[in-house]
Each structure stands twice: as structure tokens, then as C-alpha cells.
């Protein structure tokens, strides 16, 4: 979901109908309530020095071309996301800390009954911060982050996808701790009828499930055949498949059960929208009062985080729109502040991307199969 990040795989289906690409959060909040984070979404992670060595000495059975492709397009090494960049979602953040971050940082404390889950599903309406959460998990657990959209596996990489899936899991183990983030997981693990399912898609799905099972077996020390040494096992226990979907009901039952944890990522509540709006406006010249913000929070009921970002971006254009070409000759100080009326005008065009009916379906699925977030 990060358009600035050229290393993230391309060809991702945009889940926001009004935007060709998802907006990147360009501001970082410095909310003091978010502990343990020096928030900045612009800091760069240094590139991983293990990678060139690994590419020279690939694990057995890993295709060199596929491995290179993973490194080029799927390992995310660009700018990073911290917890504090994400408004709200405290329950989801806590669940992710317990499931991934702490076990990755202190594997010695998380064995036996505390053995961490091998898979976690984030589900909910589009644009609610699922991708941001996954990226923050990778940052905070100091993991290598592999980001792939399942739809690109079944389209862009079709034909070489099985090799790619094998290389993906092998590299994740070699570069552990690792997060394999699969967006749009529904398009890979959907419950399509056997005959209607594309043969190649079915093979990728099978390969993915095999690799994922092997990972769990290796982590538990039950791996058969080669590569079941101590080191291999330790690596496998610090690889997690984190998946996101806007269509949880499309995932077939067997695949669903493999996600031991299923976390609902809901639309933002009032106070979360207020926080996000404040953050977005914090570095801008604006004249909105606290009362204006309260009204705005009411008017944006039903908006997702990405709808809010889109709205704020559109409203921020307000002061420039009336100027036309004149803006080319004006100094920044002469541009008027963003005002409440700009938001009012933008609200005519920027509407919530999730319908009430759609929301009910998520709530229902969450009640049946998920954990509340
Ligand atoms: P999803 O993966 O759930 O579809 P993303 O994490 O890609 O959504 O979010 C898309 C964009 O929407 C982000 O880049 C960010 O600008 C904004 N956004 C969504 N949720 C939040 C949030 N909780 N806090 C801050 N920004 C958010």
C-alpha cells in the first residue's frame, strides 16, 4: 500500500475505488501515549547486508531467478511504519505485539504453551490500516518484511508462482525473523469450486499451503528429511504469515482454520477519526477550531482511515483551487489557511467507500469467526 516504496510489489489491486493508488501517510504523529517508538515514517531502514551473501549461496532447491525476484520486488526495504503512525486500533496492536513482536524479540520466553501462532489474519473493510499494521509489526519486531499481493501471484507471476512461493518461504527462513505479508489472501485461498478453479491457481494454493505447513513442522522440530537442524528450526519459528483481506468470507474453511488468530480491523471510531484528522492537519496552516473538528468527526461517520486521508488531501487543495494560475506567482505565506468550508466542499465528492450493508457483513463474520479489534 505504499506507493513511495518501489520495492513493494506492484500490480496490487487498489481497494479504494476513488483513488488509483492508496495514499501514503505522509505525516507521523508524535502521540506520547504510544510508547517505545520514535515515530517517523520517513526514516529509512538500511538494506540488509545478509542478502547478497544469501543470493550467492542459496538454500537447496531454491530457484536463483525466483530468489532474485523476491529480493527485488517483495522484500520491502524502503521507509518504515511505526505503531504511532497508525491511529487507533489499540486492540489489534496489542494482539500483534503478543502474537508476533514479543515472541520475535524474546523467543526464549515463548515456547511450549506460549508457542507463537504461525499465521494471523487481519480482516475488515478496505483502507482501515491492515497494511500499515503489518508494516509496523515488521518494524517493531525488527523483521525482514516480505510483502506480496496474492492477486499478483495468480496473475503477474503466474507460471513461475510455485517457484516463487518456494523461494519466498526459503528466503524468509534464511532472513528470519521474517514477516510474510500476503495482501488479498482471499484471491489465493478462496473456496472456489474444484472445477471452476484455474489449474495454475490451484497449484499455487497447494504449494503455499505445503510451504506453510512445513514451516510449522520445522518450527515444532518435526521436520522430516534434510534441514531439520537446530538453526533451521530456530529460523522457522520466527517466520509468520500475516495475511489481510477485505473479503474474509471468500476464504475456504480449511485455510481459514490455519489462521489461529483472526483479527477484525474495523472502521475507525469517533475518537480515532479525531486523532487521525488532527495528525493530518498538524503540519498544515489551517483555521479549524476544536468545535469544527467535532462537527467533522460527526460528518465522517462511516469513513475508513483511507477515506479520511483522501478527504483531508482534497480539502487541503481548497486554498489553491480558487487561485488558478495565480498560484504560480504567490509566496506560501499568501496562501490562505485550510478552513472548515474546504472540508465541507470536499465532503460532497469524497464519500465513505464502505456501505452500511457491507459493514454488517464484516460485523457478522467477525462475530462468527473473529476477534474484535
Ligand atoms: P488496508 O490495508 O486496510 O486496505 P492501508 O493500511 O493500506 O489499508 O491504509 C491505506 C491508507 O489509509 C494508509 O496509507 C493511510 O494513509 C490511511 N490509513 C488507513 N488506516 C489508518 C489508520 N488507522 N491510521 C492512519 N492512517 C490510516
Please determine, for residue 316, whether its predicted confidence score (pLDDT) is greater than 90. yes
Lowest model confidence (mean pLDDT) among 32-41, 175-184, 191-200: 32-41
Which of 84-93, 108-117, 231-240 is predicted most confidently?
84-93
Partners of 263 in beta bridges: 122, 371
- Ligand 1 atom at minimal distance to the Cα of residue 244: 2
Q: How far apart are CA 54 and CA 220, in angstroms?
A: 24
Query: Which residues does a 6 A CB cutoff place in the pocket of ligand 1?
Result: 1, 15, 22-25, 86-89, 126-132, 244, 276, 305-306, 309
Q: How far apart are CA 236 and CA 194, in angstroms?
A: 31
pLDDT tens digits, residue range 249-297? 999 888 898 898 999 999 999 999 999 999 999 989 999 999 999 999 9
pLDDT recorded at residue 192: 62
Residue closest via CA to ligand 1's atom 5 equals 129
Q: Which residue would you say has higher pLDDT here, 134 or 223? A: 134
pLDDT recorded at residue 19: 36
- The answer to whether the CB of 89 falls within 8 A of the CB of 232 is no
Q: Which residue would you say has higher pLDDT here, 35 or 345? A: 345
Q: Which residue would you say has higher pLDDT here, 88 or 222? A: 88
- Ligand 1 atom at minimal distance to the Cα of residue 89: 23
Q: In what order do the strands lie in the sheet with 119-123?
A: 75-76, 144-149, 178-183, 239-245, 119-123, 261-264
Mean pLDDT of 200-220: 85
Q: How far apart are CA 237 and CA 256, in angstroms?
A: 21
Ligand 1 pocket test, candidate residues 26, 28, 305, 316, most atoms within 8 A of CB: 305
Q: How far apart are CA 51 and CA 167, in angstroms?
A: 13
pLDDT recorded at residue 340: 97
The number of beta carbons lying within 10 Å of the beta carbon of residue 48 is: 14
Instruction: Compute φ and ψ for 235, nearest 5 degrees.
Output: -60, -45
CA–CA distances in Å: residue 184 to residues 72, 250, 267, 273, 292 = 21, 10, 18, 25, 37
Output the average pLDDT for the chain.
Answer: 81
pLDDT tens digits, residue range 135-151? 999 999 888 999 998 88
Confidence of residue 202 (pLDDT cuts 50, 70, 90): confident
Lowest model confidence (mean pLDDT) among 98-107, 230-239, 264-273, 294-303: 230-239
| CA nearest to 92, candidates 38, 119, 129 | 129
- The answer to whether the CB of 336 falls within 8 A of the CB of 317 is no
pLDDT recorded at residue 102: 92
Partners of 148 in beta bridges: 182
- pLDDT over 90 for what percent of the chain? 45
Residues in the chain: 373
pLDDT recorded at residue 117: 82
CA of 309 to the centre of ligand 1 (A): 8
pLDDT recorded at residue 53: 85
206's CB contacts (< 8 A; 6+ apart) are: none
Mean pLDDT of 152-181: 85
User: What secondary structure does DSSP assign to 102-121, as a single string?
Assistant: HHHH-GGGS-GGGPPPSEEE
- Ligand 1 atom at minimal distance to the Cα of residue 25: 16
- Ligand 1 atom at minimal distance to the Cα of residue 2: 14
Q: Which residue would you say has higher pLDDT here, 92 or 44? A: 92
Mean pLDDT of 189-218: 78
Query: Which residue intervals of the chain are DSSP H helices?
Result: 50-56, 64-69, 90-96, 102-105, 130-140, 150-153, 161-174, 199-219, 230-236, 253-258, 270-281, 290-299, 305-321, 340-349, 356-369
Reported ipTM: the value is: 0.99
Partners of 286 in beta bridges: 338
Amino acid at each position: 500500500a505504499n506507493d513511495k516504496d518501489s520495492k513493494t510489489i506492484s500490480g496490487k489491486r487498489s481497494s479504494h475505488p476513488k483513488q488509483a493508488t492508496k495514499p501514503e501517510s505522509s505525516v507521523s504523529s508524535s502521540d506520547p501515549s504510544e510508547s517505545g517508538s520514535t515515530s517517523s515514517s520517513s526514516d529509512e531502514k538500511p538494506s540488509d547486508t545478509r542478502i547478497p551473501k544469501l543470493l550467492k549461496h542459496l538454500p537447496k532447491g531454491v530457484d536463483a531467478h525466483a530468489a532474485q525476484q523476491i529480493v527485488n520486488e517483495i522484500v520491502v526495504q524502503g521507509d518504515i511504519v511505526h505503531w504511532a503512525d497508525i491511529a487507533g486500533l489499540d486492540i489489534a496492536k496489542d494482539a500483534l505485539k503478543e502474537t508476533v513482536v514479543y515472541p520475535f524479540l524474546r523467543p526464549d520466553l515463548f515456547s511450549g504453551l506460549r508457542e507463537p501462532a504461525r499465521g494471523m489474519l487481519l480482516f475488515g473493510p478496505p483502507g482501515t490500516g491492515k497494511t500499515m499494521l503489518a508494516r509496523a509489526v515488521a518494524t517493531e519486531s525488527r523483521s525482514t518484511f516480505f510483502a506480496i499481493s496474492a492477486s499478483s501471484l495468480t496473475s503477474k507471476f503466474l507460471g513461475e508462482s510455485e517457484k516463487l512461493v518456494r523461494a519466498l518461504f526459503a528466503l524468509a527462513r534464511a532472513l528470519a525473523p521474517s514477516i510474510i505479508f500476503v495482501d488479498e489472501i482471499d484471491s489465493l485461498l478462496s473456496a472456489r469450486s474444484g472445477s471452476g478453479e484455474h489449474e495454475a491457481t490451484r497449484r499455487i494454493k497447494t504449494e503455499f499451503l505445503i510451504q506453510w505447513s512445513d514451516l510449522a513442522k520445522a518450527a515444532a522440530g518435526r521436520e522430516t528429511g534434510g534441514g531439520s537442524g537446530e538453526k533451521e528450526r530456530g529460523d522457522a519459528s520466527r517466520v509468520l504469515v500475516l495475511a489481510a483481506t477485505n473479503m474474509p468470507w471468500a476464504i475456504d474453511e480449511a485455510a481459514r482454520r490455519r489462521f489461529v488468530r483472526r483479527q477484525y480491523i474495523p472502521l475507525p471510531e469517533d475518537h480515532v477519526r479525531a486523532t487521525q484528522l488532527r495528525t493530518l492537519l498538524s503540519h498544515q496552516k489551517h483555521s479549524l477550531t476544536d468545535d469544527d473538528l467535532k462537527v467533522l468527526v460527526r460528518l465522517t461517520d462511516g469513513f475508513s482511515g483511507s477515506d479520511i486521508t483522501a478527504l483531508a488531501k482534497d480539502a487541503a487543495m481548497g486554498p489553491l483551487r480558487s487561485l488558478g494560475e495565480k498560484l504560480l506567482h504567490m509566496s506560501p505565506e499568501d496562501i490562505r489557511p485550510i478552513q472548515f468550508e474546504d472540508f465541507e466542499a470536499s465532503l460532497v465528492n469524497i464519500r465513505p467507500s464502505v456501505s452500511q450493508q457491507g459493514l454488517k457483513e464484516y460485523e457478522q463474520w467477525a462475530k462468527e469467526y473473529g476477534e474484535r479489534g
